[in-house]
A and B are shown apart, each in its own frame.
Chain A
Amino acid sequence: MSQANYPAQFRYSTEHEWVDAPSPSAATVGITDHAQHALGDIVFVDLPRVGTAVEAGKPCGSVESVKAVSEIFSPVTGEVTEVNATLAEHPEIVNQDPHVKGWMIKVSLAAGGVPSELMTAAQYQELLKQEGS
């Protein structure tokens, strides 16, 4: 399995989403390199609309690959301020560059910011190791 680079400033969920929140009020969310790899070639990304309220741990969209449709679980609580519209036409970007160009939604975070139970890059990679990948 490829040695992916998991950015240290991100936080990660057990459902294999990442969060990048340079400030406590706004975050960018996507799926991890491990997730895109496990899904295989992604053919469709279904994202929430701008203005949708998302809740940590609850589904907020889905990713369809040639194998299956998987839900995207929002790792944070807040309101969607922007979605990556490029993915509608070019879902393959999620496979090619999951942590940068393949971002999915931007969220203005509710009070409390990024949930503290999310993992660091090191903890996430430890989880992947335990899951046998």
Chain B
Amino acid sequence: MSNQDIKKARRHLTQNEGLIFEGSSPGKVGVEMPPLDVPALDPARALGAQLVRDEIAGFPEVSEMEVVRHFTRLSTWNYGVDLGAYLLGSCTMKYNPKINEVVARLEGIGNAHPYQPENLSQGCLRIMKHLADALLEIVGMDAITLQPAAGAHGEMTGLLLIRAYLESKGNARRKVLVPDSAHGTNPASAYQVGYQTQNLPSNARGTVDLAVLDRMMNEDVAALMLTNPNTLGVFDDQIVEIAEIVHSRGGLIYMDGANLNALLGVSRPGDFGIDVLHLNLHKTFSTPHGGGGPGAGPVAVKKHLEPFLPIPRVRENADGTLGLDFDQPKTVGRVRAFYGNYGMLVRALAFILANGSDGLRQVTDDAVLNSRYVRKGLEDYYELPYPAPTLHECVFSDKRQLKNGVRTGDIAKRLIDYGFHPYTVSFPLIVPGALMIEPTESESKQELDLLIDALQCIAREAETEPETVLNAPHTTRVGRMDEVQAARKPILRWKP
């Protein structure tokens, strides 16, 4: 008897779920509305015919319970950090403590309205001030905006500040230098702000090549965008020399704070010459990352850039109350409605306060320790293209497995069978066939041992039975996707 023959008893949770459109039957409705107790109005007359839409073709007609079951079943297919390690390198997919959610839902916070008068918003403003002060202390900078909604948005905001500052000096300049190990968002953000980007090749250690920087850094370069530690997880210890070269020619240094999880309580960007940096609250400060987040990418600056920060800014009044200051003549303007993704600011502050300064230092110590433990456990199995000491993440390559035709993407798919969310594949671009692993501080030794064991097993499989790896995943509801065809000829919607 095949699965198709079973009509009555189904193991619902292991069934493949169709699209909700496919469960539609004509005339079925979820809710029956009570009869109107007011005269019916013709919407075309009330609103104008151009605002009235005809019947939506192909809209699914299902009952309330069918909707609930459909989405509940789908939700059981998810993988998240609440189920197991989530190894995406450079993404810092750490655990999101549940207390954060409780705090963000407290009556006075969760139900606050952005148009509430200032005198009724003192608590919410205090949270912004408190968070701003804490973040500034952590990164050693002078002023901050909490508005940007994500990391790349922070990059764009930071570059707008750099442009405004340089313009005020008489020349906005034309170029931004971006190392070849950078996140792809860096050149994209620079371009958005009207700068040309120039690729800065890394040296054999994977860090900035000082001689090349010295040659490329001229009066036409507005800024160097640097990620430190970089995407290899290597801290660029030439940072002071780098800053000297850039500053001596009138440029500024932008730091991508994606890897701040390696620095908490250990080293402050403001102390090593950074002029502008963004922080990812959804990475370092435990607010949800992925699944729509939403993110939050505050931008911290040194004193000379403060006049250009977005408005409104939180202001402390003479009587100790807080208010919003819109009167900043040099501001680049708003970058986000109201005050940014406010709920995320609350969660980040909850994380900071729950940890305290010792706790934040421990976050970094544990994140680095975990990453080094994984690196040590896998060094004999996977190629390590840059042997320099690494901090919060480590990057291997598939060079050894490639002999048997097994690539990083295949190993990642096989890792799903072992119950882990894959690491980041094929990034950074300076490592061909990269496996980029960031365990974060969240994972226990037991979970890391399971991970190391899984990746060791896969390395052995790549030697002895490469087909098992090449055809993975085997245990998921949906097997290997045709990613090439999906990119070449995407089908973006269901059609009747």
Contact = CB atoms under 8 A, between A and B. Distances in A.
B426 A91 contact: no
A13 B208 CA distance: 24
B488 interface: yes
Contacts of A55: none
Contacts of B429: 68
Size class of the B contact interface (CB-based, 8 Å):
10 to 19
B487 A67 contact: no
B432 interface: yes
**Residue among B425, B427, B487 having the largest count of chain A Cβ atoms under 10 Å:** B487
A20 interface: no
B484 interface: yes
Interface string A66-93: 1111000000000000000000000110
A38 interface: yes
Contacts of B483: 41, 66
A45 to B, nearest CB: 11
Interface of B: 184, 409, 425-427, 429, 432, 483-484, 487-488
Given A67-B426, A68-B426, A43 B487 contact: yes
Given A43-B488, A66-B484, 15 more contacts: A38-B432, A41-B484, A44-B487, A44-B488, A64-B487, A66-B487, A67-B426, A68-B184, A68-B426, A68-B427, A68-B429, A69-B184, A91-B488, A92-B484, A92-B488
Contacts, number: 26
A43 B484 contact: yes
A66 B487 CA distance: 7
Contacts of A44: 487-488
Interface string A41-75: 10110000000000000000000101111000000
Cβ-closest 6 pairs across A and B = A43-B487, A67-B426, A41-B484, A43-B488, A66-B483, A66-B484
A75 to B, nearest CB: 16
Interface string A25-46: 0000000000000101101100
Contacts of B425: 67
Contacts of A92: 484, 488
8 contacts: A38-B432, A40-B426, A43-B488, A44-B487, A64-B487, A68-B427, A69-B184, A91-B488
Contacts of A67: 425-426
Contacts of B427: 68
Contacts of A40: 426
Nearest to A71: B199
A67 B432 CA distance: 10
Interface string A6-38: 000000000000000000000000000000001
A43 B483 CA distance: 10
A79 B406 CA distance: 41
B286 to A, nearest CB: 29
A41 B409 CA distance: 12
Contacts of A68: 184, 426-427, 429
A91 B487 CA distance: 11
A64 B427 CA distance: 14
Contacts of A66: 409, 483-484, 487
Contacts of B487: 41, 43-44, 64, 66
Contacts of B484: 41, 43, 66, 92
Nearest to A89: B488
B132 to A, nearest CB: 36
B476 to A, nearest CB: 19
Contacts of B409: 66
A40 B427 CA distance: 14
Contacts of B426: 40, 67-68
B189 to A, nearest CB: 15
A121 to B, nearest CB: 22
Nearest to B483: A66
A38, A40, A67, A91, most chain B CB atoms within 10 A: A67
Contacts of A69: 184
A92 to B, nearest CB: 7
B466 to A, nearest CB: 16
A32 to B, nearest CB: 15
B23 to A, nearest CB: 32
B354 to A, nearest CB: 38
A68 B377 CA distance: 29
A43 B432 CA distance: 19
B59 to A, nearest CB: 32
A44 B487 CA distance: 8
A41 B432 CA distance: 14
Contacts of A43: 484, 487-488
A29 B269 CA distance: 44
A66 B425 CA distance: 11
A102 to B, nearest CB: 15
Nearest to A38: B432
Nearest to B426: A67
The CB with the most chain B CB atoms within 10 A, among A38, A40, A91, A133, is that of A40
Contacts of B432: 38, 133
A103 to B, nearest CB: 19
Nearest to A91: B488
Contacts of A91: 488
Nearest to A66: B483
A64 B426 CA distance: 13
A44 B486 CA distance: 12
B79 to A, nearest CB: 21
